[in-house]
Amino acid sequence: MTLDRAIAGIFLLLCLIYGYTAFVTMEANLLPFELNMTFLPNTMPKWLSVLGVIVGTVVVVQSGPTAGAEIDDGEIDYRNLRQYKLGQAIFLLALMVAYALLLRPIGFIAATTLFIAGGSMILGERNFKVLLPIAIFTAFFIWYLVQELLGIFLRPWPWFI
Amino acid sequence: MLEGLVLGLSTAFSIQNLIMVVAGCLLGTFIGMLPGLGPMSIIAIMIPVAIKIGDPSAALILLAGVYYGAIFGGSTSSILINAPGIAGTVATAFDGYPLARKGKAGKALTIAAIASFTGGTVGAILLMGFAPALATVALLFHSAEYFALMIVGLSAIAAFAGSGNVAKALMMTVLGLILATLGESAQFNAPRFTMGIQDLQSGVSFITLAMALFALPEALYLVLDPKRSNTGGAGGEIKDLRITKAEAKKIAPVIGRQSIQGFLIGVMPGAGATIASFLGYAVERNIAKGEEQAEFGKGSIKGLAAPETANNAACTGSFVPLLTLGIPGSGTTAILLGALIALNITPGPRLMVDNPSIFWAVIISMYIGNVVLLILNLPLIPYIAKLLLVPRNYLIPFILFFTMMGSYIGQNNATELLMLTGMGIVATIMRFAGFPLAPMLIGFILGQMLEDNFARAMNLTDGVSFMWERPMTTTLLVLAVVLIFLPSIREQLAKIRRRGVADGD
């Protein structure tokens, strides 16, 4: 099974669940006075789920081994992901998740410094004399820009300060 | 009109207002370059500043300058790092980024600057002449026609962005529309499809989705395939800023057509720069013949000039309904409307009569703003493009960081960052499989407006009968269906032609 067919299959499944919610669950939760109204919160979802099921089925049927067999210049061949720097990509994504979870508890300055320094290190940067000042400067500069000039609150320090 | 022009000129050419134009354009360009900060967020941030200024014309001139600057800045980041900060410059990245990767970033930026300038200037001239007349045209459109118009826009995008696979593009459009239904529905304030998660109640944020669909997959592609960071030429040195005479001849008709088309689309509320740029791209791609058509998407200068002209012309056009009807045509003009009301100005048909100096000063300042953008940006291009010289080890963490900041400061919600990462991974996998991502974002943006107008039209006619009872609506809907089937019909015809005479038996 090719990747595009699998994605279309998942989409089809999503549309069925979405459609079930729109046609059955939401319909059952309507208030008595709403029954006479022309337009309801589930009107558009009903149309969309039907449309989605049709289009999804067309993609599942259409895409076969021939479709997408040619890899355009500049595109990535997902069948051979190992030839790319998959590890770096996964580590960077993990770093993003860590940033999201740590931003509030350890504060903007520390989280940002760690993110930029960590990201560069994952990509192979080892020149700490350049790396650390840049990361720290960026953290303070962006904090100043956002908090002081634009007036959007960003907690700079960890929770205990 | 002449009287108004003189009044506008004298207001706009005061020292204070000239400073406002220059400051607005510069600020807009630099902030607009950062992925994630589009004109909407910049203008929203600038509103307190504008109110502090107090003088409504000066404030509106500043905000209009920021708007133009941000659109231009957005094109810069689309071309250089394939990270459109705003939906209106997504189509710019289609051909701008391939050009930059071929080492022609300088040329691409020059074309973008010239195209934006012409589009904006022609738009301002048209606005001056036709503002009152165009307002009456827009008045003819009811919600049923808006609904049909958006359907046409969506199917046109699916038909042309799908590069041969319309079904896949349509699937992505529907997915975008479905995502737009998360949160609260039109006319009802009850949550739906939130699965009980409170963070989903306000729906998916546009900026987060845009980042997840464009900036994040691009950054991941840069990580996966280090060859992509190699921008060709002398390590990203920008040379060859000039365009040749032959190239100028090639793009001149494109710019001419798109200035007018973009403006007209911009006038229609709900359409705006995004649809104008996509339709402009699609139309030019269809008009182009043979080799030129095949070049679209791989670094065609026509494909770059078309959306760039159209989006700037449409930005100007979107001021028509705002200034003459008081109806915002796009998210950005909606924010401008809010700022105007805060300044005790009510835009509408009476604006031209009650506050002529404001009306005309804004129009004149649009013209000045475009000149300022061209003068400031052409010499600055080599410096702007220095962005490409930043080593990969630093560039990628910075792109990722700005992507996250863009979606974080809009909502001040760390859950947004987790959603960004999750959707970014899904988007990257879909890009692996050749699903076009742009139709999904457009579906998402138009989803809410589509539902609002659908609801209004249905309430007015007590059902869906408006689809065949209003001739204009029916025509537009039929056009939408034709657009979807056109590529496959064309393919069949080409096949028959290729088989030729041998097919006789």
Report how far residue B160's alpha carbon sits from residue B144's, in angstroms, rounded to the nearest whole number.
Answer: 24
Q: What share of chain B is helix, strand, coil (3-state, %, to 5)?
A: 80, 0, 20
Q: Is A31 on the interface with B (CB under 8 A)?
A: no
Please name the helix (run of DSSP H) or strand (run of DSSP E) that holds residue B304, with its range, or none. Answer: helix B301-317
What pLDDT does A13 receive?
A: 93
Provide the chain B residues 347-406 that lie in CB contact (below 8 A) with chain A.
Answer: 392-394, 396-398, 400-401, 404-405
On whether residue A14 sits in a domain, the answer given is yes
Over pLDDT 90: what percentage of chain B? 2
Asked whether the beta carbons of residue B186 and residue A44 sit closer than 8 angstroms, the reply is yes
Task: Kindly state whether residues A93 and A49 are assigned to the same domain.
Answer: no
Task: Kindly state whether residues A42 and A90 are assigned to the same domain.
Answer: no
Q: Is A10 on the interface with B (CB under 8 A)?
A: no
What pLDDT does B384 receive?
A: 65
Q: Which of A33, A65, A97 is the last residue of a domain?
A: A65
Winning range, highest mean pLDDT, from A23-32, A62-71, B85-94, B351-360 = A23-32
Cα angle value A99/A105/A106 (rounded, 5°): 70
Q: How far is CA B342 from CA A149, A150, B325, B339, B369, in A?
A: 21, 19, 18, 5, 23
Among A130-139, B248-257, B271-280, B323-332, the range scoring the smallest mean pLDDT is B323-332
Average pLDDT (A69-96) is 75
Task: Kindly state whether residues A50 and A94 are assigned to the same domain.
Answer: no
Report how far residue B15's alpha carbon sits from residue B33's, in angstroms, rounded to the nearest whole number.
Answer: 27
Q: Which of B45, B394, B450 sits opposite A150 (nearest CB)?
A: B45
Residue A40 token pair: 């309801």
Asked if residue B14 lies in contact with residue B54, where contact means CB atoms within 8 angstroms, the answer is no
Average pLDDT (B270-278) is 72
Q: Is A92 on the interface with B (CB under 8 A)?
A: yes
- The 10s digit of each residue's pLDDT in B348-376 is 666 766 777 777 777 787 888 888 888 87
Q: Is B202 on the interface with A (CB under 8 A)?
A: no
Q: Is the pLDDT of residue B502 over 50?
A: no
Residue A70 has what DSSP assignment?
Answer: S
Q: Which residues pair with B192 in a beta bridge?
A: B183
Task: Kindly state whether residues A8 and A52 are assigned to the same domain.
Answer: yes
Average pLDDT, chain B: 77
Q: Is the pLDDT of residue B85 over 80?
A: no
- Tell me the pLDDT band of B500, cut-offs 50, 70 and 90: low
Provide the number of structural domains found in chain A. Answer: 2
- The 10s digit of each residue's pLDDT in A55-76 is 999 888 887 555 444 455 456 7
Q: Which of B401, B403, B405, B484 to mutate to test the interface with A (most CBs of A within 10 A)?
A: B401
- The 10s digit of each residue's pLDDT in B129-167 is 777 665 556 567 778 887 887 787 778 777 765 555 788
Q: Which residues of chain A neighbour B408 with C-beta distances below 8 Å?
A: 103
On whether residue A79 sits in a domain, the answer given is no
Task: Kindly state whether residues A54 and A92 are assigned to the same domain.
Answer: no
Nearest Cα of chain B lies from the Cα of A159 at a distance, in angstroms, of 15
Q: Is A54 on the interface with B (CB under 8 A)?
A: no
Which residue's structure tokens are 């400067």?
A137
Cβ pairs A/B, distance under 8 A: 168
Over pLDDT 90: what percentage of chain A? 25
Q: Is the pLDDT of residue A12 over 90?
A: yes
Report how far residue A17's alpha carbon sits from residue A10's, in angstroms, rounded to the nearest whole number.
Answer: 11
3-state secondary structure of B458: helix
Asked whether the beta carbons of residue B193 and residue A125 sit closer than 8 angstroms, the reply is no
| B313 vs B44: which has the higher pLDDT | B313
- Tell me the pLDDT band of B232, cut-offs 50, 70 and 90: very low
Residues comprising chain A, all counted: 161
On whether residue A78 sits in a domain, the answer given is no
Q: Is A41 on the interface with B (CB under 8 A)?
A: yes
What pLDDT does B237 receive?
A: 54
Average pLDDT (A37-42) is 83
Task: Kindly state whether residues A91 and A143 are assigned to the same domain.
Answer: yes
Residue in chain B lying closest to A46 (CA): B178
Q: Is A27 on the interface with B (CB under 8 A)?
A: no
- Tell me the pLDDT band of B235, cut-offs 50, 70 and 90: very low
On whether residue A70 sits in a domain, the answer given is no
Asked whether the beta carbons of residue A26 and residue B175 sit closer than 8 angstroms, the reply is no
What pLDDT does A50 receive?
A: 93
Report how far residue B289's alpha carbon sits from residue B293's, in angstroms, rounded to the nearest whole number.
Answer: 5
Q: Is the pLDDT of residue A49 over 90?
A: yes
On whether residue A13 sits in a domain, the answer given is yes
Q: Is A13 on the interface with B (CB under 8 A)?
A: no
Residue in chain B lying closest to A70 (CA): B434
Average pLDDT (A114-130) is 87
Report how far residue B437's alpha carbon sits from residue B90's, in angstroms, rounded to the nearest whole number.
Answer: 10
Residue B124 token pair: 């301002």
Q: Which of A19, A36, A65 is the last residue of a domain?
A: A65
Long-range CB contacts (within 8 A, 24+) of A54-61:
A55/B167, A55/B170, A55/B171, A55/B174, A56/A8, A56/A9, A56/A11, A56/A12, A56/A15, A56/B171, A57/A12, A58/B167, A59/A4, A59/A5, A59/A8, A59/A11, A59/B167, A59/B168, A59/B171, A60/A5, A60/A8, A60/A9, A60/A12
| Sign (positive or negative) of CA dihedral B86, B92, B94, B98 | negative
- The 10s digit of each residue's pLDDT in B471-489 is 888 988 898 888 888 777 7
Average pLDDT (A49-56) is 92
Task: Kindly state whether residues A60 and A95 are assigned to the same domain.
Answer: no
Task: Kindly state whether residues A42 and A94 are assigned to the same domain.
Answer: no
Asked whether the beta carbons of residue B414 and residue A101 sit closer than 8 angstroms, the reply is yes
Q: Is B175 on the interface with A (CB under 8 A)?
A: yes
**End-to-end Cα, chain A, rounded Å:** 55
- Tell me the pLDDT band of B422, cut-offs 50, 70 and 90: very high
What b-and-e string marks burial along B41-62, b requiring 16 or more CB atoms within 10 Å of the CB?
A: bbbebbbeebeebebbbbbbbb
Task: Kindly state whether residues A142 and A90 are assigned to the same domain.
Answer: yes
Nearest Cα of chain B lies from the Cα of A141 at a distance, in angstroms, of 13
Asked if residue B131 lies in contact with residue B320, where contact means CB atoms within 8 angstroms, the answer is yes
On whether residue A9 sits in a domain, the answer given is yes
For residue A34, the enclosing domain spans 3-65
What pLDDT does B282 receive?
A: 82
Q: Which residues of chain B neighbour A93 with C-beta distances below 8 Å?
A: 220, 421, 424-425
Task: Kindly state whether residues A93 and A142 are assigned to the same domain.
Answer: yes
Cα angle value B101/B295/B119 (rounded, 5°): 80
Task: Kindly state whether residues A91 and A139 are assigned to the same domain.
Answer: yes
| B252 vs A75: which has the higher pLDDT | B252
Q: Is A113 on the interface with B (CB under 8 A)?
A: no
On whether residue A36 sits in a domain, the answer given is yes
On whether residue A80 sits in a domain, the answer given is no
Average pLDDT, chain A: 83
What pLDDT does A17 receive?
A: 92
What one-letter code names the amino acid at B489?
I
Task: Kindly state whether residues A91 and A126 are assigned to the same domain.
Answer: yes
Q: Is the pLDDT of residue B283 over 60?
A: yes
Report how far residue B342's alpha carbon sits from residue A41's, in angstroms, rounded to the nearest whole number.
Answer: 33
